[in-house]
Amino acid sequence: MSEFVKQLFDLSGRVVAVTGGGGHLCGEMARGFGKAGCKLAILDLRLEKAEAVAGQIRDAGGQAIGVALDATSKADFSAALAATVEPFGPVDILVNGAGINSSTPFFEMELEEWNRVMDSQITSTFLGCQVFGEHMVANGRGNIINISSASAGPPLSKAFPYSVAKAGIKNLTQNLGREWAKQGVRVNAIRPGFFPTEWNRKNFITPDREAAILGHTPMGRYGEVSELVGAMIWLASDASGFVTGAEIAVDGGYSAMTI
């Protein structure tokens, strides 16, 4: 690698916190940050999942800890920030990736389920930005990367609260990107296309729906989770220093497709 490219994308020693870091997408992002030389706090409601990803990063020679986090609790976010700063120092990068989905038909959905999805997605992103963002603004530097979705608009069918929440995450990203632009803190979002988890395949992706998804994706395939890492590294690095309030699509052309 040329010295120029190395310096442009260098993340060595930067401190990264990843919410939902024990999951399918964010776990891979966390492992990518570990390979880039970052110090990782893997935050997840399921501590065993967080510890598993942290262990994989340590086994590869990196530095990482697992931290239990209820992403709907401001007190938990404050505790997670303290647990990250204590061993590693000030946080440079936050990835807000916690959240669940629902496939319940609209007329059958109870308010409790609606609130549960909304809280796990937009409320958790709000709290992460509030707690870690205040820390970053006080330090005069920082980088927040939220996880949007192809469903942020136009919305996907059969994912009502999820789509609403993801639209809110996009809007919040733009709001905070503008708000903190002169305070050394950038806020952006990655907009993944279709990277199916086992849950997605079981609850959402019928043969007809798969044909519709792939027919609307110019590349004609699903994404591999490793294909999110490059965009994440770019947004986290100084190479994207003039980028804030943006939503970066990693979707095989899905968002560019009409007929």
Does 181 score more than 80 pLDDT?
yes
Model confidence pLDDT, tens digit, residues 39-73: 999 999 999 999 999 999 999 999 999 999 999 99
Contact 218, 252 (CB under 8 A): yes
In 3D space, the residue among 6, 5, 50, 57 whose CA is nearest the CA of residue 33 turns out to be 57
Across the chain, the runs of DSSP E, i.e. the strands, are 15-19, 39-44, 63-68, 93-96, 142-147, 185-192, 247-250
Residue 182 pLDDT greater than 70, yes or no: yes
More confident: 181 or 200: 181
pLDDT per residue as tens digits for the range 189-247:
999 999 988 877 887 788 999 999 999 999 999 999 999 999 999 999 999 999 999 99
Query: Which residues on adjacent β-strands are paired with residue 16?
Result: 40, 93
pLDDT in tens, 89-146: 999 999 999 999 998 999 999 999 999 999 999 999 999 999 999 999 999 999 999 9
Query: What CATH number has the domain spanning 3-249?
Result: 3.40.50.720
- pLDDT at 1 exceeding the cut of 80: no
Q: What pLDDT score does 249 carry?
A: 97
Among 71-75, 122-126, 154-158, 174-178, the minimum mean pLDDT is found in 154-158
Say what the pLDDT of residue 196 is.
86
Of 162, 195, 204, 222, which is the active-site residue? Answer: 162
Q: What is the pLDDT of residue 253?
A: 97
**Is the pTM of the predicted complex or chain greater than 0.85?**
yes
Q: For the chain, which residues make up each domain, given as ranges?
A: 3-249
Whether the per-residue pLDDT at 161 is higher than 90: the answer is: yes
Show the beta-strand stretches assigned E in 37-184: 39-44, 63-68, 93-96, 142-147
Q: Is 254 a catalytic residue?
A: no
Task: Enter the tokens of residue 134.
Answer: 């205040």
